[in-house]
Structure 1
């Protein structure tokens, strides 16, 4: 069944929400940037976003945590990552409804999979992201932890550890992507008819 935009009558006016997910150093940022440049060069209204958004107040706290400058409880940092997405939700929705395509590097799936890999409960992790905008398509970029380790910059941030990457890839990310209904994001821009 086709999906229809609930806020406008013409589905062609709505921008697409394109998400790149996957393990660290797998090429998400590179591929997202290439798609952004391609669409922009071909006359499309498009923006490139990356989560966490380190420009916000919450994003700055997350950045300190990722750089190992600040220690936080696992549940607290999970909630901060979620709040960081929530503080961008309204702008994302407005851009999509205005016809701008959003290419997003990481989103709620990464947040949940990292937290689950650290031992937090899946249902608890998903609960703070319920109601976020749902991507139209997800590109999952996979890479072994060994290959990621060989790429430049691996290990500079807190989560770029081989053991966590292996656990995250095997136990969390692929399961979430394969069973997207486990992370019930809200489809408030679309409805099924």
Structure 2
């Protein structure tokens, strides 16, 4: 995925429009997010849409490298410190997201602040609630549409590479899933839930059916001339 942005981007947008759409793909670990982001980008690009991608955590920056070290179990940090690093990693890209959307590129984002909230709150640290976890991200660019790839923890365990990173443990993944669904059912939640346990082709088709109408509305100017802000 490191080369995805270059693969789908031109120096300047191929087509002019009001702004690009901001699409986020979320999900529990091993739900197939990265594969589905790649497929979605390919289909949108083939139709002539201006596409760029981003993935969080972005492990290129100094902050991102610290997060990578933590996720690979190479360092230990206080839960609050880790959460704020993840948030800072997103803020590093906030201006880029806004400017890229304004230029007419649709952004497909692999994980965003929803992940930051639920993974921190899932640790069951009494001093780090879901409400606390929301606060550092207030003001970040708000997605136009969010896809949640839902997968039972026992299904995730059967997929290749499971357990390589810190958060890939069944009990934690179960709490993460429950918190995602809690966000989904909250007022203004707005996530589109797709069963990631189906075949890759079936999941791809369902994502496509959810995302394409939003991209066309935003790029066509019938849904918000400016990207919104996360309000908590």
Specify if TM > 0.5: yes
Cα 1:152/1:93, change in 2 over 3 Å: same
Which residues of 2 match residues 25-174 of structure 1 at below 5 A? 25-119=30-124, 120-170=128-178, 172-174=179-181
Paired with 2:92 and 2:51, the residues of 1 have a C-alpha distance of 20
Which of these residues, 12, 21, 26, is aligned with residue 26 of structure 2?
21
Cα-to-partner distance string for 1:122-152 (whole Å, 9 max, x where unaligned)? 2211000000011000111010111100100
Q: Does 1:178 align with 2:185?
A: yes
Q: Does 1:189 align with 2:227?
A: yes
Quote how far apart the aligned CAs of 1:181 are.
4.6
Instruction: Give TM-score scaled by structure 2 length.
Output: 0.72
Secondary structure of 1:141's counterpart equals strand
Paired with 1:26 and 1:70, the residues of 2 have a C-alpha distance of 26
Quote how far apart the aligned CAs of 1:39 are.
1.2
Quote how far apart the aligned CAs of 1:190 are.
4.5
Quote how far apart the aligned CAs of 1:160 are.
0.9
Cα 1:107/1:145, change in 2 over 3 Å: same
Paired with 2:142 and 2:187, the residues of 1 have a C-alpha distance of 10
Cα-to-partner distance string for 1:88-115 (whole Å, 9 max, x where unaligned)? 0000100000000000010000010011
Paired with 1:144 and 1:79, the residues of 2 have a C-alpha distance of 28
Paired with 2:228 and 2:71, the residues of 1 have a C-alpha distance of 34
Paired with 1:140 and 1:126, the residues of 2 have a C-alpha distance of 18
Count of aligned positions: 176
Quote how far apart the aligned CAs of 1:41 are.
2.0
In the alignment, what sits opposite 1:8?
Answer: none
2:23–2:146 Cα contact (<8 Å) kept: yes
Quote how far apart the aligned CAs of 1:70 are.
0.7
Secondary structure of 2:76's counterpart equals coil
Q: Which runs of 5+ in 1 are unaligned?
A: 1-10
In the alignment, what sits opposite 2:13?
Answer: none
Q: Which runs of 5+ in 2 are unaligned?
A: 1-15, 190-223
